[in-house]
A and B are shown apart, each in its own frame.
Chain A
C-alpha cells in the first residue's frame, strides 16, 4: 500500500471510475493500471492548450486539402 497521498487519491479515483465502466479491478491489477494512468498523464502534460473549439477525429484528404490540412470526415468503413 502506497503512502503517497496523491497516489492514494488517484488509486481511489481509478477504482471508482473503473467500477462506473463495469470493470472490477482485482487487487493485483490496481498498481500496474495506476502506473499506466500516470504514464499517460505525463504525456498529457506535454500537450499544448489549443484555443479552439473544434475537434479533429481523423485526417481526411479531399479536394482542396492536398497540403495536408485535416477535415472532419465520415467514419471509416472498417469492420470493428
Chain B
C-alpha cells in the first residue's frame, strides 16, 4: 500500500524517510513526484539551474534495492534534496551562479556535504539558483534570472542561497543545502519562512564547495520542520569538520534556559514586524520555562562588526577571483564584476584593521554567553521586498535595499557562532525569521529551541500554494 502523503509537496523528510524505510512508498515514487514538482515550478520560481533526474532515479533505485533486500537504510532514505550551485555534484559543472565557470569540467566527485547526505540515503535532484559567486542577498542573477519567493513571486527569495530557500518553501524538496558567508542561509530562510541553520564555523567540511570569503564561509541547511533540520544537520556531520574538529558544548542540564533579546543595533535596524517576531519567540520560550532577560543585551560594536565583515568579504573574494578578474571579467555579472575589481584593489591595512575589529567583537559577543544561553535577534530587518527594490528606509535612514537585508546577520558571522532561524508569521501573509544564537559548539541547544517553537506552532513553515496544481499529484504507484 503506497503512503500517498509521502509523495505530497508538504511531506517532511521525516515522513518520507520512515515511509521508504518501511516499504510504504518507494524512493522511486518519491523521486518522480519531486521531479514533477520541480518541472512544473521552474517557470514560476526559477529555483533550479540543473536537474539531475538520471542520477536521482539511479540513487532512488539503489535505496529501494536496499529496502527490498532488508538492508538497513539511512535516516534520510529516499528524501529528495538539492544544493546551491556551488556544491560539487558528481558529473555536473559547478557554476556558482556564474558564466565564468561554465566551461569547466564536470565535478569528478561530490562535495563532502553532498556525500554525507548520500550516505544517509538521500536522493540528489539538482543544483539551485544563487547570486553569482554568492555575492548578494537577493539572488537577482543576471545570467539565469532571479529566484522567486514562493509566498509571493514578485518578491525576492533572499540570497545568496535563494534557490535553496525557494525550492524548500515551494515544496519542491523537503531539505536543501546552502552556504552562509554574511547571512546567505539566514536571509533567505527569513524571507521564505524556513527553518535554517548556520553551524559553528569549521563544523562542516567545505571540500568541494566553491568558496566566496574563506574565513567567513559556512555550509548550512534549510528545512520546513525543526526535526528535518536536525536530521539534515546530523547527516552533515558525517562530512567531518574543516580542519580541527569543533568541540561540542557541554550538554544542557535541567536549569531554565537563559534568553536575552539583542538590543541596540539589532533593534534600531529592524522594523516593527521583525521585533514582533522576536517577542513572539521570547514569549513562547518564557511560557516553556525559560528566563527572559528584562533588558535587551547591548553590543556596542555591532555596526563596526558589519563593516568588518564587509571589508573582509571584499578582500578575500577579491583575492580569490583575481585571476578571473584579470582575464575574463567581461563574463561576470556587471554588478559583481565591479565589486570584485574594487575588492582586489583594497589596501592590506583595511583588511587587517577589519580582522582586529573582528577579534574584539567576537570577545564582546562571547561575554554575553556568561549570562545568557541563547540570544535572539531578527534575521532580516523587514519581510521580503519586491524584486528590484533599490532603497529602503530603516530608522529614518534611506539605505540600499540589497545590502540592508544583511544588516542583522552580517555582524554575527565573523564570530563563527552557530545560529538557527525560526520562521515566524507575526501578521500578514509574509514570514520573517528570528535568529537563535548560541555559543560555539551548541548546535544542539539551537535545534532544541527550534523544536520547541515548531511544536508550539510559533515557528512554522507551510508550503506555499502552487497555483498551477489542479489535481492531486500523489498517484498510485
Contact = CB atoms under 8 A, between A and B. Distances in A.
Tell me which of A50, A68, A70, A73 has the highest count of chain B C-beta atoms within 10 A of its own C-beta. Answer: A68
Q: Give chain B's interface secondary structure class.
A: helix
B17 interface: no
B358 A78 contact: no
Given A22-B326, A56-B356, A75-B243, A69 B341 contact: no
B338 interface: yes
B357 A61 contact: no
Given A37-B342, A46-B304, A58 B201 contact: yes
B441 interface: yes
Contact of A60 (B207, B244, B249, B304): B244
Nearest to A20: B345
Contacts of A75: 214, 243
Contact of A44 (B350, B356, B440): B350
B311 A61 contact: no
Contacts of B190: none
B354 A47 contact: yes
B301 A48 contact: yes
A66 B350 contact: no
A66 B341 CA distance: 38
A61 B417 CA distance: 9
B163 interface: no
A73 B215 CA distance: 11
Contact of A78 (B211, B365, B367): B211
A36 interface: yes
Given A47-B353, A55-B355, A61-B441, A69 B366 contact: yes
B26 interface: no
Interface in A52-76: 52, 54-63, 65-70, 73-76
A57 B356 contact: no
Contacts of A76: 202, 206, 214, 242-243
Interface string B348-370: 00101111111110110111011
B362 to A, nearest CB: 5
A32 B355 contact: no
A66 B251 CA distance: 13
A78 B247 contact: no
A21 B320 CA distance: 13
Contacts of B307: 43-44, 46-47
A18 B206 contact: no
Contact of A40 (B310, B326, B363, B370): B310
A77 B416 contact: no
5 contacts: A21-B326, A67-B369, A68-B439, A69-B363, A77-B206
Interface of B: 88, 200-202, 205-209, 211, 214-217, 242-244, 246-247, 249, 301, 303-304, 306-308, 310-311, 314, 320, 322, 325-326, 329, 334, 337-339, 341-346, 350, 352-360, 362-363, 365-367, 369-370, 414-417, 439-441
